[in-house]
Amino acid sequence: MQKLEQIYEGKAKKVYATDDPELVIVDYKDDATALDGLKKGTIVGKGVINNQMTNRLMVKMEKAGIPTHFVKELSQRETLVKKVSIVPLEVIIRNISAGHFASRYGVEEGIVFDQPTIEFSYKNDDLHDPLLNEYHALALKLATREEIDLIKKYAFGVNEVLKAFWAECGVTLVDFKLEFGKTADGTIVLADEISPDTCRLWDSKTHEKLDKDRFRRDMGGVEDAYAEIMKRLLDHDAD
């Protein structure tokens, strides 16, 4: 597999073309952003952790019947994935109140919901990713009704797999963001990443934050938190 020119660079990743038009290489960076890009920094080693954690969790999704873009891990920071066109909907599943949900609705963090919630935002940096509902998504032709229904089914499925897995690691899955893409033949697959950048992960006993909130909120110990969550994943998979 030959790595060709860079075709995209985002906040956390670079994407390179390959000599196969249906496959690309994703390269994870240590760059970190928060607060809609206003806060910028570096989390040393983040790219390695996010790459390897994402790949392991994507394999678990495949085993659970949720198709993903994952093909093969190439190195600590690089992974071969199926080329997809991203559906411009960010999908957020919440099990417990935190972050924007808590501030938006004026509730405290840590309220455990009777059942998970789902929300969508329009993936558009210029508009600051505004919240929208399914009717808006259909009106804007961001996805079809069938695609939205499938994305919801997959997203709740991801939640069940992740919740159970992290519980076994002594970690509570608070909420997380997913992105989905369409392959060349139109198949919807889970794309992007599953990492401490995109998930809120709390220690089950102490509720210590083991995710990007430590960076967002200037809490310190960011690298240690990422290393700890990776250690728990590896320890679990080694058992």
The whole-model pTM stands at: 0.96
Distance CA 226, CA 209 (A): 10
Q: Give yes or no for residue 192 having a pLDDT over 90.
A: yes
pLDDT band at 239 (very low <50, low <70, confident <90, very high): confident
* CA dist., res. 142 & res. 160, Å (int): 26
Q: Tokens 């198949």, residue?
A: 187
110-157 pLDDT, tens digit per residue, is 999 999 999 999 999 899 999 999 999 999 999 999 999 999 999 999
Which structural domains are found in the chain, ordered by start?
A: 3-82 (3.30.200.20), 85-238 (3.30.470.20)
Residue 201 CB contacts under 8 Å (≥ 6 apart), including other chains: 166, 171, 172, 173, 174, 209, 210, 211, 229
CB 230 within 8 A of CB 224: no
